[in-house]
Amino acid sequence: MILSKFVDELPILPVLKPRWKDSCHTYYEVNMTEFKQSLHSELNDTTVWGYEGSYPGPTIEVESGEKVFIKWINNLPAKHLLPVDYTVHGAHLDVPEVRTVVHVHGASVEPESDGYPEAWFTKGFEQVGPYFTKKVYRYDNYMRACTLWYHDHALGITRLNVYAGLAGYFLVRDQQERLLNLPCGQYEIPLIIQDKSFNEDGSLYYPRQPDKPVPELETSVIPEFIGDTILVNGKVWPYLKVEPRKYRFRLLNASNTRFYRIKLDSGQLIYQIGTDGGLMEYPIGVKEIMLAPSERADVIIDFTNLEGKNIIMTNDAPAPFPSGVAPNPNTVGTLMQFRVTLPLSSIDTSVIPSYMGPLPKLREQSASKIRYLTLDDITDQYGREFMLLDGKRWDAPITENPKLGSTEIWHLINLTTDTHPIHVHLIDFQILDRRAFDVERFKKERVIHYTGPSIPPEPFERGLKDTVRANPNQVTRIIMNFDSYTGLYVWHCHILEHEDYEMMRPFVVIR
């Protein structure tokens, strides 16, 4: 069954209204529920999970410095919508099957409100995980304007909870950004890109077994999930009618495993203005944008003088990345279509600024700690390949313990054949470089022998980042300052099938 492209209009995600708001605080309540939603007009309605009855969840918009409190409420059924593997960490039979905990990805937040994977809770908070401390999360939003997102992070079932629909945008705004006169209002549209597969009856398909099944298990985690259909804002291959003018789009890859290399089939430039952590110093005009799972790009597309044109946003990233097959242009090689068919409703006075503001640059000399951290693959008792960080499982004692206020450089030494999007909670980092090294020699001698020059980050990565692509056969270096909170956080691969099966580690910021 191949669904027709460009038959449904792109949904514009609703903005969440607070329960109450005064000059000091804002309070939201967000319910997680199961419901049916139309994901394509040729498909029966699909049972999904969402926030406040919406998949993807409504956009939460806050001002920099605004004190926001959110009560995340689990009203989901006791039985999971998707097949649970009870052998992976945190998902054993001694815990309830449906657990949730919400993480605002990219936020600097106190540890009790960061959504620690073992701080989960069930419907009505009847049962809670060992690290659960409170029902109402607090977000101080000290960050500058940036493009964040919220999603579920429960240990051992994050891949299933997010795939079922638990993800949405969390935008931070500030005055500096407003003064730039970027396209705004109806001309600023957040886009959430995900891949999914469907059963004939319209229900979500998620494999119960990997390609090489594990006969001992009824359900087994899979090494990666690659869907055969692309959804933007919860619709399969939608179209958007636009005016001949500039638009600002936030792009988010909220897929489990799939990477996207995004282009416009008109060949026109995309003007990137921001990375994960907010605006860059200068906009850059690019022909393509690479997004690994959880990465964001803030872009301007100019449809001026393109009246009557149809422009398709395409993807040519292999899946799995980088060694997999190129996407079929008729299916997963297509994301959505822009139709420049609306009349210009007013003169476009928005701008692509020439300069957006200074970015603090962390100097290598300021680092007080250098860490060397491997990305490894090993095999479990069922013959399944799985991934580790620094050779350690989730439950091993904490080894990353940066001091409050200190600067660290982490070497991510990838010994596997996949690119892993490595996400560090709490802080934004900067990418220093990537450099080829001899993997086989490293495995024998545990010493890095570089085989190529240091490669600077791509132009579209030269801003604040919270997720970095660590490529095979390379050492990727990131630099960061732990200047905000002390306490317990996590860092992990954002391929959700990896994260759920041991490719995640706690870290603690100490005083």
For binding to Cu ion (CB under 5 A), which residues are involved? 420, 493, 495, 498
Cβ distance to Cu ion smaller for residue 99 or 420: 420
User: CB nearest Cu ion: which residue?
Assistant: 493
Interatomic CA distance for residues 91 and 361, integer angstroms = 41
Report in angstroms how near the CB of residue 493 gets to Cu ion at its nearest. Answer: 3
Report in angstroms how near the CB of residue 224 gets to Cu ion at its nearest. Answer: 9
Cβ distance to Cu ion smaller for residue 384 or 498: 498
Interatomic CA distance for residues 224 and 87, integer angstroms = 17
State the Rg of the chain over Cα: 22
Cβ distance to Cu ion smaller for residue 30 or 495: 495
Report in angstroms how near the CB of residue 293 gets to Cu ion at its nearest. Answer: 9
Cβ distance to Cu ion smaller for residue 407 or 416: 416
Report in angstroms how near the CB of residue 501 gets to Cu ion at its nearest. Answer: 10
Interatomic CA distance for residues 425 and 109, integer angstroms = 9
Interatomic CA distance for residues 206 and 83, integer angstroms = 7
Cβ distance to Cu ion smaller for residue 336 or 493: 493
Cβ distance to Cu ion smaller for residue 22 or 211: 211
**Pairing relationship of beta strands 167-173 and 57-63 according to DSSP bridges:** parallel
Residues 6 or more apart whose Cβ sits within 8 Å of residue 400: 371, 373, 491, 505, 506, 507, 508
Report in angstroms how near the CB of residue 389 gets to Cu ion at its nearest. Answer: 9
Residue in 465, 462, 470, 460 with CA at minimum distance from that of residue 493: 470
Interatomic CA distance for residues 151 and 162, integer angstroms = 7
Cβ distance to Cu ion smaller for residue 249 or 259: 259
What is the enclosing helix (H) or strand (E) of 175? helix 175-178
Cβ distance to Cu ion smaller for residue 51 or 260: 260
Residues 6 or more apart whose Cβ sits within 8 Å of residue 126: none
What is the enclosing helix (H) or strand (E) of 445? helix 439-445
Residues 6 or more apart whose Cβ sits within 8 Å of residue 419: 259, 292, 321, 322, 469, 470, 471, 472
What is the enclosing helix (H) or strand (E) of 440? helix 439-445
Report in angstroms how near the CB of residue 103 gets to Cu ion at its nearest. Answer: 17
Residues linked to residue 194 through DSSP beta bridges, in sequence order: 231
Report in angstroms how near the CB of residue 203 gets to Cu ion at its nearest. Answer: 27
Report in angstroms how near the CB of residue 216 gets to Cu ion at its nearest. Answer: 25
Report in angstroms how near the CB of residue 257 gets to Cu ion at its nearest. Answer: 9
Residues linked to residue 377 through DSSP beta bridges, in sequence order: 387
Residues 6 or more apart whose Cβ sits within 8 Å of residue 94: none
Residues 6 or more apart whose Cβ sits within 8 Å of residue 441: 447, 449
Report in angstroms how near the CB of residue 375 gets to Cu ion at its nearest. Answer: 7
Q: How far apart are the first and last CA of the chain?
A: 57
Cβ distance to Cu ion smaller for residue 298 or 500: 500
Report in angstroms how near the CB of residue 420 gets to Cu ion at its nearest. Answer: 3
Residue in 82, 2, 91 with CA at minimum distance from that of residue 42: 2
Cβ distance to Cu ion smaller for residue 105 or 498: 498
Interatomic CA distance for residues 156 and 87, integer angstroms = 9
Interatomic CA distance for residues 482 and 177, integer angstroms = 25
Cβ distance to Cu ion smaller for residue 139 or 410: 410
Cβ distance to Cu ion smaller for residue 172 or 493: 493
Report in angstroms how near the CB of residue 421 gets to Cu ion at its nearest. Answer: 7
Report in angstroms how near the CB of residue 253 gets to Cu ion at its nearest. Answer: 14
Residue in 191, 436, 465, 225 with CA at minimum distance from that of residue 321: 225
Cβ distance to Cu ion smaller for residue 233 or 471: 471
Q: CB-based burial of residue 363 (10 Å sphere; 0-12 exposed, 13-18 middle, 19+ buried)? A: exposed
C-alpha distances (whole Å) from 458 to each of 22, 139, 251, 262, 344 are 43, 31, 17, 15, 35
Coil/strand/helix, residue 443: helix
